[in-house]
Structure formats: structure tokens, C-alpha cells
């Protein structure tokens, strides 16, 4: 079984400041890693994913994440945030070995960007 | 391109009433389909998934059920709703190969 811990339930930042949203996971098997974003009353939108290869993954809207196997982390970063980045962000993992690929999500981090 | 639809968008139901939420996917064949529930402060919980017509796997025992009558249709049902069934219900799909799930717009269910 896998688990995902998002260490911060809320992260307030000022516009144009850098931000890091933290994600740690626990798994006895190799995993795929994902970050999704959810705007109010909407579904989840895929930001980026790590399947294999380079541990630094670039996604949409200027976000990137780095997979660190030794620390079992997949932190999300953006060098300069905008007001429009205000949303909830979810980290998720899935088991590489399972064909039907169920996702285990963290509880989410609310990013609050203020002017 | 693929699109996923959910309806209704919002629903207010009394305790003990039945429920039917529908999800359909366009532009793909034989997708894996998933139902998740998002309750306040509890993140996303996988409820059911399906790898094909008539094939349903349940992740959490509860008073909900799911059915897949057609390849691209996934239905979430209940005979009698509980207060604890309130939440935001999300449908997702995935095709074999790329290991990524794509989500629908969701249904906000309030049970009173």
C-alpha cells in the first residue's frame, strides 16, 4: 500500500515570490508520481508527472517538480507565482506494477497568492 | 481529443433518497474508469474503478454502488443516501499505456 503526505495544508505567498509545495510518499514498490491542481468547484487538472527518466519534471503554468528517490519526495516548485495560481494542489502516486493504475492522493495544499 | 462529462453538476437530496450520477467519456475506447469522492478536509478517496464493461472493483465498503453498462459510461448509485455521502464526486478515465488519469468537472452532492 502507498501513502502520500503533503506537509502543508495551506501556503500563503505574495505575488511574484517563489513557492515550494512539499510532498513525501511511502511505498514498498516503485511508483509513478503526479501533481494535480484544482480550482474552486472544478475537477482536477494534471500539472505534471514523473514516469521515468530525468528526475526534474516540467509541467504547465511554469511549475516543475523534482523526484528524489532517497528522500521519497516529489516537491512542486514555481519561481514566481501569480494571483491566478491560487488553487488547491494534490500530489498523487500510483503503483508501477498495476495495470489499472489507481491513484493515492495526499490531502492537498491550498496555495494562497496575495498581491 | 478526449472529453469527459459528468452530470448533474450539483445536486441536493434528502437523506434516504436514491442517487444516480453519470459519467461519460468521448474520443477514446475501452478506458479505465474511476469514481472518487472528495469530502471536506479528507482529500480524494477512490470509490470504484472499472477496467471494462460490467467489471467493477470497489475500494471502500459503503452504501454506494457503481455500474458500467456501456464502454464509455460509468454510473454511481445509491438506494438510500446518508448525510455522510455529501461531497464532491469526481469521475476519471485512463487508457492503457500512458499512466495518467484525467478528471471530469465533478458533481457537488449535498445530502440534507
B31-63 confidence digits (pLDDT tens): 999 999 998 777 888 999 999 999 999 888 678
Quote the number of domains for chain B. 1
CA distance A8 to chain B (A): 13
CA distance A80 to A18: 5
CB < 8 Å to A32, chain B: 99
**The CATH number of the domain where B31 resides is what?**
2.60.40.10
Residue B35: closest C-alpha in chain A = A102
* CATH T-level fold of A3-114: Immunoglobulin-like (2.60.40)
Residue B97: closest C-alpha in chain A = A99
Residue A101 has pLDDT above 70, yes or no: no
Comparing CB atoms, the residue among B32, B46, B105 nearest residue A43 is: B105
CA distance B4 to B27: 9
* B29 and A CB contact within 8 Å: no
CB A59 within 8 A of CB A65: yes
pLDDT of residue B25: 96
Q: What is the pLDDT of residues A44-82, one digit of tens each?
A: 999 999 988 899 999 999 999 999 999 999 999 999 999
Q: Which three cell numbers stand for residue A83?
A: 494571483
pLDDT of residue A52: 86
Containing structural domain, residue B63: 3-111
Amino acid at each position: 500500500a502507498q501513502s502520500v503526505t503533503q506537509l502543508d495544508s495551506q501556503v500563503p505567498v505574495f505575488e511574484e515570490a517563489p513557492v515550494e509545495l512539499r510532498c513525501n510518499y511511502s511505498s514498498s514498490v516503485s511508483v509513478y508520481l503526479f501533481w494535480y491542481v484544482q480550482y474552486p468547484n472544478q475537477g482536477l487538472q494534471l500539472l505534471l508527472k514523473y514516469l521515468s527518466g530525468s528526475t526534474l519534471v516540467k509541467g504547465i503554468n511554469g511549475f516543475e517538480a523534482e523526484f528524489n528517490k532517497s528522500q521519497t519526495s516529489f516537491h512542486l516548485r514555481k519561481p514566481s507565482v501569480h494571483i491566478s495560481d491560487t488553487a488547491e494542489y494534490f500530489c498523487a502516486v500510483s503503483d508501477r506494477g498495476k495495470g489499472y493504475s489507481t491513484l493515492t492522493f495526499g490531502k492537498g495544499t491550498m496555495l494562497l497568492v496575495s498581491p | 481529443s478526449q472529453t469527459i462529462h459528468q452530470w448533474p453538476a450539483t445536486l441536493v437530496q434528502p437523506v434516504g433518497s436514491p442517487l444516480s450520477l453519470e459519467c461519460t467519456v468521448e474520443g477514446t475506447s475501452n478506458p479505465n474508469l474511476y469514481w472518487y469522492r472528495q469530502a471536506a478536509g479528507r482529500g480524494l478517496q477512490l470509490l470504484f474503478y472499472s477496467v471494462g464493461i460490467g467489471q467493477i472493483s470497489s475500494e471502500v465498503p459503503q452504501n454506494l454502488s457503481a455500474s458500467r453498462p456501456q464502454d464509455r459510461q460509468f454510473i454511481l448509485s445509491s438506494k438510500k443516501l446518508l448525510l455522510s455521502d455529501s461531497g464532491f464526486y469526481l469521475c476519471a478515465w485512463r487508457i492503457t499505456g500512458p499512466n495518467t488519469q484525467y478528471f471530469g468537472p465533478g458533481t457537488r452532492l449535498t445530502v440534507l
